[in-house]
Amino acid sequence: AAAPPQSACQPACLVACGLGRGWVIYPGTPGTPARLGRARGERTWRRKRPIPWRPPKGVPCPYKKESVRISSGNKIWTLKFSQDIAHKTPLILLHGFGGGVGLWALNFGDLCENRPVYALDLLGFGRSSRPPFGGDAVEAEDQFVDTIEEWRCALGLDTVILLGHNLGGFLAAAYSLKYPSRVKHLILVEPWGFPERPDNADQDRPIPVWIKALGAVLTPFNPLAGLRIAGPFGLSLVRRLRPDFKRKYASMFEDDTVTEYIYHCNVQTPSGETAFRNMTIPYGWAKRPMLLRIGKMDPDIPISVIYGARSCIDGNSGNTIQSLRPHSYVKTIAILGAGHYVYADQPEEFNQKVKEICDSVD
């Protein structure tokens, strides 16, 4: 979709995310990605008209926005900051499951002070194209990774510092395995999909029978299908289930802008969401855990692992990576007072740590 027109009330970078209110049911037509949602018994919601964001505090860096064309007619929505700083290795930001470029809003200003920064919506998420993905974990992962490589080639970038959060961390590691010559430093922020599912997981933390039954019923559906089934009540559902997002971004937005952004990112055709489902086994474990493969990564690629000290995600993956790469640089950084969304919980400290890592590259 074309980006909404810039106006006097749209000066800040989050306008470039291009998602607003005013959505209606749109059943799609044969041959379009909307068929994917219908095939899974879901109703697809799409934007009826763009409505401007209220202006947040400005980002003190020049930026550009672009739909980068790749193969098969797909496009990758991209924000580009400080491109005039050509002598520094660019930092690439890959968001997590269900996210988009807008969730880095608290980080752009600091991170782009002395180097180029690129943030993209992963294929199947945000404002990027939402094509059908391969039906198994290998196909889905390869499609994500090869898309990132096509995107890099299209922008003419040589080597990069690659940072990924959650699913983005998993894909950043997979990209580094496949295209090692392109990665100067790999930064994993609360990465998903690294450990194996323990054989005794049910014994250590018994799962109630009703949850197992519910999981069995929901297995054929995508993780966020409930938002689309809820229709116009989906936004209220997000507000009730995740009121923390409004608090995380309170310094920039006084209203529900971020909550609405997350809702609209995930109420569309569930393309990337379906790919993620195909990459998981019940209860969110990865079918192809990254810790089984990361030991094969080029030993010259430094890895930094950033965790929130109060996150529910297992923070031991950093230590395990170090044991699997004993002769390579691996550093684990815990940020106090931060949970899984460490970049939004403690943005100043997160930004400082990432800048220090980037400065170690050049």
Continuous H helices in the chain:
34-39, 108-111, 137-155, 167-178, 201-204, 209-218, 225-229, 234-241, 244-248, 257-266, 271-278, 317-324, 342-345, 347-361
Provide mean pLDDT across the span 276-302. Answer: 95
Q: How far apart are CA 342 and CA 337, in angstroms?
A: 9
Q: What is the pTM of this model?
A: 0.82
Q: Which two tokens stand for residue 283?
A: 């209860």
Q: How far apart are CA 44 and CA 34, in angstroms?
A: 7
Q: What is the pLDDT of residue 243?
A: 86
Q: For 144-182, what is each residue's pLDDT tens digit?
A: 999 999 999 999 999 999 999 999 999 999 999 999 999
164 touches 171 (CB < 8 A): yes
Q: What counts of helices (H) and strands (E) characterise the chain?
A: 14, 12
The residue to which tokens 């989906």 are assigned: 234
Radius of gyration of the chain (CA): 20
10 Å CB burial of residue 10 (0-12, 13-18, 19+) is middle
Judged against a pLDDT cut of 60, whether residue 50 lies above it is answered with no
Judged against a pLDDT cut of 60, whether residue 302 lies above it is answered with yes
Judged against a pLDDT cut of 90, whether residue 67 lies above it is answered with yes
The CATH class for the domain spanning 51-196+271-360 reads alpha beta
The residue to which tokens 């505090």 are assigned: 57
Q: How far is CA 114 from CA 64, 72, 299, 349, in A?
A: 16, 35, 28, 17
The residue to which tokens 């000290």 are assigned: 309
The residue to which tokens 């390869």 are assigned: 142
* 252 backbone dihedrals φ, ψ, rounded to 5°: -110, -35
